Amino acid sequence: MAVVRLALTDFRSYASTLVTCGPGLIVLTGENGAGKTNILEAVSLLTPGRGLRGAALSEMARSDGPGGFAVAARLAGDVEIGTGALATAPERRQVRINGAAASANALSEWLAVLWLTPAMDRLFVDSASGRRRFLDRLVLALEPAHAVHAARYEAAMRARNRLLADVRESGRQADPAWLASLEVAMAEHGTALGLARERTVAALGQRLTEQAEGPFARAGLALDGWAVADEDAFRAELATGRGRDGAAGRTLAGPHRTDLAVTHLGKGQPAARASTGEQKALLLGIVLAHADLVAADVGRRPILLLDEVAAHLDPLRRAALFDRLAAGGGQVWMTGTEPALFEQADAQRFVVVQGMVMDG
């Protein structure tokens, strides 16, 4: 699983650029603001979702460009995939696979991408929504259908919330058949979401506990909050909770209320109470173990995007990271301001200057 050619048109700081690369480690260095993270973001858009920044599509188009943008890639095996938006419809995502129009969810059949960014350093102490997004990215790499279930669950829940809000504001009764059909959809897709998360947490948690102690702290994983029972039970829970949910203005039960609980196994304490360096090491350990899990279960290793990953690691941990990544195989994109941070890495090197990516 590797990108061998990446072409950007009017994307972020790039009017037009082309990166030709191969499997293994890829290092992008350059000054702050040069556009290194923009390259990683472009790769992250080759899977379902809004990419590593979670930005609106209209924000990705070059600010002084004609509007719209395109990200195109050739994968190993001569598969062509691409995404972008037109100037005439800046918030409507376009996707093509081997020249044919496709849905964004279809991208997950071809590529899995995981990332760590500096913004994720607070993952364990910020809101549960960020941890759910992180967990769902892990699940998606193992179960591509997860994206479809998530989209359909969210769509049904939004429609139900609007219907209950109309009931609250107008005092009129909702169409019971329509409300019930939305709850059937929520129960079907929400149960699938919950079960997929449970499978991923169980498999990844087992792999983490079996790992030997090393430079990256081992994490214990569990799901907290709402727990899936079965489809019928969830549908009944939604039906009996209509009045409560209408008064609250939102749905109070479901997989959107689940949290990922992470503990530092070595210290037996919640990850939120660990030091900043320990939390970074926990995240790295989870991502590296998950890449191994995907490779074993799916037969192809996900692409890893590690933004500024080496800056806060001491030389021992940097060397251990590069050795672990090289031993695992697959394609890994890393960024940093100082080339010296990557001296120990056997990598393809590029230098990023405003609007240009050059061989390093």
Residues 130/194/140/138 CA torsion (nearest 10 deg): 50
Confidence of residue 298 (pLDDT cuts 50, 70, 90): confident
Q: Per-residue pLDDT for 324 more than 80?
A: yes
Q: How far is CA 223 from CA 67, 255, 283, 297, in A?
A: 42, 10, 16, 21
Q: Directed axis angle between helix 146-170 and helix 128-142, to 10°?
A: 140
Confidence of residue 355 (pLDDT cuts 50, 70, 90): confident
Tell me which residue of 12, 89, 82, 80 sits closest to 47, measured CA to CA.
82
In tens, the pLDDT along 70-83 reads 999 999 888 999 99
Q: Would you say 284 and 117 are in contact if contact means Cβ atoms under 8 Å apart? A: no
User: For the range 63-69, what are the long-range contacts, defined as Cβ-Cβ under 8 Å and sequence gap of 24 or more?
Assistant: 65/10, 65/15, 66/10, 67/10, 68/10, 69/8, 69/9, 69/10, 69/11, 69/12
In tens, the pLDDT along 51-101 reads 999 999 999 999 989 899 999 999 988 899 999 999 999 999 999 999 999
Q: Which residue has the higher pLDDT, 228 or 199?
A: 199
The two structure tokens encoding residue 167: 């009931």
> Secondary structure of the chain: what % helix, strand, coil (to 5)?
45, 25, 30
The C-alpha atoms of residue 288 and residue 293 are separated, in whole angstroms, by: 9
The C-alpha atoms of residue 32 and residue 122 are separated, in whole angstroms, by: 21
Check residue 278 and give its pLDDT: 86
Q: Exposure of 212 by Cβ count < 10 A (0-12 exposed, 13-18 middle, 19+ buried)?
A: exposed
The mean pLDDT of 159-181, rounded to a whole number, is 89
The two structure tokens encoding residue 122: 């607070």
The two structure tokens encoding residue 175: 């169409």
Confidence of residue 216 (pLDDT cuts 50, 70, 90): confident
Mean pLDDT over each residue of the chain, to the nearest integer:
92
Residue type, 72: A
Check residue 156 and give its pLDDT: 97
Check residue 315 and give its pLDDT: 85
Q: Per-residue pLDDT for 178 more than 80?
A: yes
Check residue 86 and give its pLDDT: 94
The two structure tokens encoding residue 202: 């169980």
The two structure tokens encoding residue 18: 């082309």
**CA count, 13 A, side-chain hemisphere, 184:** 6
Residue type, 241: G
Tell me which residue of 168, 160, 224, 172 sits closest to 198, measured CA to CA.
224
Instruction: Indicate the pTM of the whole model.
Output: 0.88
Distance from the Cα of residue 9 to its chain's centroid: 23
Strand order in the sheet with 69-75: 14-20, 3-11, 69-75, 79-86, 89-97, 100-101
